[in-house]
Amino acid sequence: MDRTDDIATFLASRRANVTPEQAGLHVTGKRRVPGLRREEVATLAGVSIDYYKRLERGHLSGVSDNVLEAVAGALQLDDAERAHLFDLARAVNPAAPRRRKPAAKAVRPAVQRIVDGMTNPAIVRNSRVDYLSANALGRALYAPLFESREQPTNSARFTFLDPAATEFYVDWERVARDLVAHLRSQAGRNPYDPGLTDLVGELSMRSDDFRTWWAAHNVRFHQTGTKKLRHPVVGELELSYDVMELPADTGLSISVYSAEQGSRSEEALNLLASWTATPATSRS
């Protein structure tokens, strides 16, 4: 991944997303660009035009936090985009950037006991969305992913490379775009993770959709939301999820899923729990 190109494309794409009206600028006449011009961003950020052009060519080395904050404000970056900009700047700082530990590949027994003790579906994943472990209900809920022909088990690999994903995810495109944005954020946060680099390379080679959306440089935090699933055993479910980070385990988090009380999805989840608790010999 070319850091200079990443910075240049990210800044240019964010500039294109902000209209003069959104920035509070009064403009007249026809414009050749869909968003702000470079000189407008420079004015809004309080820097010279030449200096901003240098930034948009990917030269963030040595740029102060105050300037980054000003640029983030001018471009109206959200929290995820702002964090990504700072991550990109740290990666090209002349001082040796702090290298993060590689994403964990195993789950400690203590963490597994916590997950097994949960009554809701729970899955343990790392920052590059490898699904490392789950409790019984979590594994049953995401059975198509854990049983996918595309291995090792990874949410993005399943979503983009296994045709079963378009049936499993009711709103497949939203899930897929969110995953790309999450991986973009992780690539900025930890540019030295070879596993992430390999995953992005694999998906870029094998999926046109992934390659297209990766080039858009969108980023997002993947902490809470809803998932609509079409489960092969219990049918459609709409579940809320929350992600809990594990500070003692680099990059690991627990994703926990729940259904609204009294909903059809809760009934389906209870049915799945009952089905999971039934010995396999009794199901046949």
pLDDT at 195: 92
For the chain, the three-class secondary structure string (H helix, E strand, C coil) is: CCHHHHHHHHHHHHHHCCCCCCCCCCCCCCCCCCCCCHHHHHHHHCCCHHHHHHHHCCCCCCCCHHHHHHHHHHCCCCHHHHHHHHHHHHHCCCCCCCCCCCCCCCCCHHHHHHHHCCCCCEEEECCCCEEEEECHHHHHHCHHHHCCCCCCCEHHHHHHHCCCHHHHECCHHHHHHHHHHHHHHHHHHCCCCHHHHHHHHHHHHHCHHHHHHHCCCCCCCCCEEEEEEEECCCEEEEEEEEEEECCCCCCCEEEEEECCCCCHHHHHHHHHHHHHHCCHHHHC
Ranges of CATH 3.30.450.180 domains, the chain: 109-283
Selected from 2.40.30.170, 1.10.3720.10, 1.10.260.40, 1.10.8.60, the CATH number assigned to the domain covering 3-91 reads 1.10.260.40
Mean pLDDT across the chain, nearest whole number? Answer: 92
Q: Which ranges in the chain are annotated with CATH 1.10.260.40?
A: 3-91
Q: What is the pLDDT of residue 95?
A: 62
Per-residue pLDDT, averaged over 266-276, amounts to 95
- Whether the pLDDT of residue 122 is over 80: the answer is yes
% of the chain surpassing 90 pLDDT = 80
Could you say which of 3.30.450.180, 3.30.70.20, 3.20.20.70, 3.40.50.880 is the CATH number of the domain covering 109-283? 3.30.450.180
Position 98 confidence tier, pLDDT thresholds 50, 70, 90: low
Instruction: Tell me the mean pLDDT in the region 63-70.
Output: 95
Return the higher-pLDDT residue of 136 and 95: 136
Binned at pLDDT 50, 70 and 90, residue 1 comes out as low
Q: Residue 283: its pLDDT value, please?
A: 55
Q: What is the mean pLDDT of residues 87-91?
A: 91
Give the pLDDT band of residue 32 (cuts 50, 70, 90): confident
Residue 29: pLDDT band with limits 50, 70, 90: confident
What's the pLDDT band for 100 if we cut at 50, 70, 90?
A: low
Query: Which residue has better confidence, 81 or 248?
Result: 81
Q: pLDDT-based confidence at 103, cuts 50/70/90?
A: low
Q: Is the pLDDT of residue 27 over 60?
A: yes
The share of the chain scoring above pLDDT 70, in percent, equals 94
Tell me: pLDDT of 260 over 90. Answer: yes
User: pLDDT, tens digit, for every residue of 186-220?
Assistant: 999 888 889 999 999 999 999 999 999 999 999 99
Average confidence (pLDDT) over 208-237 = 95
